[in-house]
Amino acid sequence: MTDSLRTERLLLRKWKGDDRVPFAELNSDPEVMRYFPRTLTATESDLFVDQIEQGFEENGFGLWAVEVDGRFAGYTGLNKTAFETPMGSHAEIGWRLAKWAWGHGYATEAANCVLRTAYALHGLSEVYSFTTESNTRSEAVMRRIGMFRRTDLDFDHPNTPGWWGIRHIVYRASLPKE
The pLDDT score that the predictor gives to residue 91 is 94
The pLDDT score that the predictor gives to residue 177 is 63
Domain at 134, CATH number:
3.40.630.30
In single-letter form, the type of residue at position 163 comes to: W
The pLDDT score that the predictor gives to residue 1 is 59
Select from 129, 126, 123 the least CA-distant residue to 170. 129
**What pTM, to 2 d.p., does this model score?**
0.93
The pLDDT score that the predictor gives to residue 22 is 98
The pLDDT score that the predictor gives to residue 175 is 81
Angle between the 106-120 and 136-144 helix axes, to the nearest 10 degrees?
Answer: 50
- Which residues span the domain enclosing 14? 4-174
The pLDDT score that the predictor gives to residue 161 is 86
Instruction: State whether residue 169 is helix, strand or coil.
Output: strand
How far apart CA 52 and CA 35 sit, in angstroms, is: 20
How far apart CA 24 and CA 123 sit, in angstroms, is: 32
Q: Which residues have C-beta within 8 Å of that of residue 38, sequence separation ≥ 6?
A: none
Number of domains within the chain: 1
Select from 171, 148, 166, 22 the least CA-distant residue to 83. 166
Helical (H) or strand (E) element with 65: strand 63-68
Q: Average pLDDT by consecutive 10-residue portion of the chain (178 residues)?
A: 88 96 98 96 98 92 96 96 91 97 98 93 92 96 97 94 92 82
